[in-house]
Each structure stands twice: as structure tokens, then as C-alpha cells.
Amino acid sequence: MALLETRGLTASYGDFQALFGVDITVGAGETIAIIGANGAGKTTLMRSISGVLANAASSILYRDEPIGALPAPDILARGIAMVPEGRKLFPSLSVEENLLIGNYGRKVDGPWTLESVFSLFPVLKERRGNPATALSGGQQQMVAIGRGLMSNPAVLLCDEISLGLAPVVVRDIYAAFPRIRETGASIVIVEQDIAQALKVADRVYCMMEGRVTLFGRAADLSRHDIHKAYFGTGHHELA
């Protein structure tokens, strides 16, 4: 049974419709990747689930309850946390203060505390007193993930955590995911790097122009099918 599900989810910015009936399911403990080109609607999907964008109540179900119309603080309180595109850290606050903010919206017991986040990303402990802006891009991304974990979410949504980071840094960040999975959390990762998405996810959804164009178990999807679903009928080549 799905822990989280979207049903015919639509979303618009004013007159512009960005999502056209998106259906995805996320099982308990499952890791899902959402892939798709720029503008496909991946972030809009994340914003809809996390309550940043309001939707029809019954278009998003969580633990079988309609949550599509709930505002972001209520979504977080119920156990869905977002690591937003672009990290959105508080620049003047320290690493530790940024992490603690993740704990304000939802104070529940669970595996994630300052100490366990520091054990997941040891470099953050060394730099706990530094302002977030003093950190490298990769370290800032670790803070953003840690902040999301501090609410002990049942579902962690991660939007483009590898964007703009060197491959070695991306590897370090993804190395943390098995430990996050082990806690039983479900993870939804938006990722433009298809190889990375296939590596980390149990199942993959590909989006194009506001629709899901392909989904399946990561191991079952062929490069050819992904290519078609990702680019449509264009002449691009996958790297």
C-alpha cells in the first residue's frame, strides 16, 4: 500500500498549467527518483506535495488522508520534509542553527538529532559554529539534507541535490542515503543525472512537460525508453 500518492495532480502558476494529471505512488521505505528535463514540472510536483503550492485536497493522499490543500507547516508536521532546490539556507545563521530550524516544525522522537546528523556528515560537526555561507556548495547541501532530517520525516523530498556540485562531492552526498534508508524513511529524489537516479532509486518516474511519460523499477527501464520519455521525439543523445 502506498504511503504517499498523487492522483490526477494538476498545478498552475496563474494561467500557466505546469502539471497535467500526475499519478505517482511512494511506498513505505521506498526510494523514488523523479527525472526529467528543465521545466518538466519536477519542482512543481515537490512544491505541491510539500504544501508550498495548494492543490485539490484529494489529489494528494498521505496515509490514506487527503492532504493536497494543506499548507506547508501542516505537511511538515505530518512527516513530509523537503530539501528544496537551491538549498535555501539562512545565510547569517550557523550550521547548527540551520539544522535546528528543521526541528522546530515537528518535534518527534526518531533517529535524527544534531548528533546523528553530525555523524552522518562529520564535516558539519567541525563547522557547526560557522555561518552557512562560509561552507562549500557540497557542505551547504549536507546542511540542507540534515535540516530536512531533523524533523524525523517519514518522507524526505530532495530536489536536485547534486546540481552544480563536482562528481566527487555528489558521491559523498549520495553515500549518506543508505543510512537514511535504513531508518525506514521513504525518499523522493529529483535528479537530472539519470545514471545517479537509477543507481539510488528503487523506482523511477520520468516527467516531460507536466506529465509522467515513463515509470518503472529502475532495473527494468531501458536507456532507449528513458531517452524517449525524457526528450520526447527529439534528436538529443544521452551522455
Ligand X SMILES: Nc1ncnc2c1ncn2[C@@H]1O[C@H](COP(=O)(O)OP(=O)(O)OP(=O)(O)O)[C@@H](O)[C@H]1O
How far apart are alpha carbons 177 and 189 in whole angstroms? 11
Single out the residue of 6, 9, 35, 44 in contact with ligand X (rule: CB under 6 A). Answer: 44
3-state secondary structure of 70: coil
Q: Which is nearer to ligand X, 35 or 67 (CB)?
A: 35
How many CB atoms sit inside 10 A of residue 169's CB? Answer: 17
How far apart are alpha carbons 66 and 212 in whole angstroms? 21
Burial degree of 210 (CB within 10 A; 0-12, 13-18, 19+): buried
Computed from CA positions of residues 137, 155, 76, 67, in that sequence, does the dihedral angle turn out positive or negative? positive
Asked if 44 interacts with Mg ion (CB under 5 A), we say no
Strands 203-208 and 211-217: antiparallel
Single out the residue of 8, 39, 122, 234 in contact with ligand X (rule: CB under 6 A). Answer: 39
CB of 207 to Mg ion, least distance (A): 10
Asked if 84 interacts with ligand X (CB under 6 A), we say no
Of the candidates 56, 44, 37, the residue with the CA atom closest to the CA atom of residue 16: 44
Asked if 162 interacts with Mg ion (CB under 5 A), we say no
Candidates 13-21, 69-77, 127-135, 170-178: pick the segment binding ligand X (CB under 6 A): 13-21
φ, ψ for residue 136, nearest 5 deg: -70, 165
How many CB atoms sit inside 10 A of residue 192's CB? Answer: 17
Asked if 43 interacts with Mg ion (CB under 5 A), we say yes
Q: Which does 79 bind (CB under 5 to 8 A by kind): ligand X, Mg ion, none?
A: none
Q: Which is nearer to ligand X, 36 or 51 (CB)?
A: 36
How far apart are alpha carbons 156 and 188 in whole angstroms? 6
Place of cell 555528489: 170
Single out the residue of 4, 33, 41, 67 in contact with ligand X (rule: CB under 6 A). Answer: 41
Candidates 37-45, 74-82, 121-129, 220-228: pick the segment binding Mg ion (CB under 5 A): 37-45
Asked if 50 interacts with Mg ion (CB under 5 A), we say no
Asked if 141 interacts with Mg ion (CB under 5 A), we say no
Q: Which does 76 bind (CB under 5 to 8 A by kind): Mg ion, ligand X, none?
A: none
Asked if 208 interacts with ligand X (CB under 6 A), we say no
Residue numbers at the binding site for ligand X (CB under 6 A): 13, 16, 18, 36, 38-44, 85, 192
